[in-house]
Structure 1
């Protein structure tokens, strides 16, 4: 490093310094291309013209276009001469197309608006000549010789349309109104009425009479324990359950007696509570074996003074028979099975007087005799169809009317009135209803009118015929 010399630095400084020239770059200016602008203007002009022509053809009608084309031409190239144009009108004729007809001797109208005449208006020449009322028409004998007899036109009555006669076919197939009542006098359909609030359980009036609870039930001495449950039986001293659990009654003997049974209690809570609390205590309540909590329902009903029964499901006839269920009596089952089902129904409740059944089909079978005999053995009463020999007949009563078989007012009221007539003429009647608001609504006013009809409401146990004594027919 010590051997390095720097004496030549001055020589180096004397060398010319190269000059750096920076050339300024100027942007290149391209000429304006007017070709796209001209093409756009041309498209606008041509498009506007074509659009205007299209608009004229679409927005204007043909006659408007013809009118535009005729402007400035006199006479118009596309015009045509109307017949009678420029000619004086002839008396009594229209002359020109736009000239109204003028009566002979009358001056043509001037400056009046033309009125359209219907196309179907007949001409005066086509109308038949009017005949004066005081001048009779000529008889056929006075007609001109050789003239053909004119056809006589049938003129319809003034201001009316002549209806065509009804054909026999239309009479045969014309709809016929249904009869107002059936063969028994029951209305077949309700009468039309204005819209009104339908009846309800809540709208029923509260019972205002005295309520006295029935004695506690069941009585232990009148129960028989079995594998399926306790069954009612007569007491050792011979007392019958249908008498012990009955509602006591004492009333006038000179009045017709009416018993009312409400079916299928316990299935609808609101309907059951309404029947217990709002119907008179003389009304008997029949509970369904398919209801839950029967012991509580029976106790509550007896606390309000109601006599209690059990519903015995059974086969019924008619066009729409109902399935009686697993405890139902049916003639397709062997007798042993039906008797087991009967005991199943009897074991469902306690403190009731008997059973009620509307199964007319099963009642007509041979097994009904065994069923009634079984009820007699257990000391229960029976309400419904069916019969048996005297030694197998329990205390029973037939049903006079199922008031709400047709669920509308007129039918219910008519059946209740028929039951009133039966009670006055025969001394007693038994009416069955179902837990429906309309049934309750029609039943209460009917019961309230019993004083005026010389009737009295009684529990079912008062109305039944006691069973014949053993050995008597």
Structure 2
């Protein structure tokens, strides 16, 4: 038996490559992978990728156009120029356009004196003498009539009497009222302090003086002051308080 025959006998026991299971499975896997790659390539080539979507544009607010310009208002024509020689002279016979200020009253007069400005009074007049028509009270008359300012004759006409009351508690206001030109009727509170000086100053200016004695208040919540006269007091207590007030 030659070598060739022996070789054929030895090779006859082996299967061909295409008959082996492992080779067949590997070949099928390779074919499947190649087909998959070919399909992906063909799909990408036939359907190119779409371009990226543009970004949304920002919102723009609508701008209203400006209103049309208003037509210019024509000014009225100016009057023709005329020289001073051609223009007539103004009429100055009428009342003046600006009234001159009234003349300032004399210092110390009743027109120039205001409440709270007693310092404007330069000099105070002495106690004025009674008018000729007034009669002085006799020597034996009560004290209140001898110190009262004589009232002028009014011929039966009505007359209003004004009394400035509640003086003395506020000294500064009492001094200002006392500096007013007299004669005035001033009433001082009985419990005010420094009454001797205040009343003497008022009397020197020619004023008529009275005493305000506090009496029964309208309610229990109202404080009428010290040494007040009340209806439930005894006669002796009323006299004692009157002596203190006067």
TM bucket by the smaller chain? 0.3 to 0.5
Larger relative contact order (CA 8 Å, sep ≥ 6): 1
Which is higher, the Rg of structure 1 or of structure 2? 2
Scaled by the length of structure 1, what TM-score is found?
0.25
